[in-house]
């Protein structure tokens, strides 16, 4: 039984605290992107969280979105929480890419404003998968 608890704690890829922090800005869909739901994140972005109704409902859905993300994505040396904070608040500077060891594209983002913000949007859609692949490769 103790081995099971260790496996679960090792696979804790996402944080409810970070999820709720991003939920505060939830009308932008940030918390949905964080938990690996880019389609609904985009819908939240363009509809201001379904006019605030979806945003309020998500306050109760975050624990289940967190569990789902923990099962879906691979844990490893690159922390999802750090990468998502860097992307959300400093994405145009490419720090989230440098954190993953992608120095060339990180520097490119730095001098181009996140490739004119389109690269940042791409990373909102794919960051979880990028990290999951890198973590799986490091095993």
Of 18, 45, 72, the residue that ends a domain is 72
Give 2's DSSP letter.
Answer: H
Same domain, 81 and 118: yes
Domain count across the chain: 2
Residues 4 and 63 in one domain: yes
Q: Which domain holds residue 128?
A: 74-139
User: pLDDT digits over 56-69, tens only?
Assistant: 999 999 999 999 99
> What is the chain's mean pLDDT, rounded?
91
- R_g over Cα of the chain: 15
Question: pLDDT at position 10, please?
Answer: 53
Alpha helices in 25-79 (DSSP H): 30-34, 38-51, 53-72
Task: Tell me what pLDDT residue 11 has.
Answer: 84
CA distance 36 to 125: 8
List, for the chain, all residue ranges whose pLDDT scores fall below the cut of 70: 1-10, 26
Tokens read off for 105: 């594209």
Query: Can you give the pLDDT at residue 6?
Result: 44
């Amino acid at each position: 039984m103790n081995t099971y608890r260790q496996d679960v704690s090792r696979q804790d890829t996402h944080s409810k605290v970070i999820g709720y922090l991003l939920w505060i800005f939830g009308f932008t869909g940030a918390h949905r992107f964080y938990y690996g739901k880019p389609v609904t994140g985009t819908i939240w972005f363009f509809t201001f969280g379904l006019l605030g109704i979806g945003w309020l409902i998500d306050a109760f859905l975050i624990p289940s979105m967190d569990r789902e993300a923990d099962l879906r994505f691979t844990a490893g040396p690159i922390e999802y929480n750090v990468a998502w904070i860097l992307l959300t608040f400093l994405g145009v500077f490419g720090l989230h890419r440098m954190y993953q060891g992608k120095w060339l594209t990180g520097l490119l983002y730095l001098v181009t404003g996140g490739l004119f913000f389109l690269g940042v949007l791409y990373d909102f859609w794919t960051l979880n998968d990028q990290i999951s692949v890198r973590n799986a490769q490091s095993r």
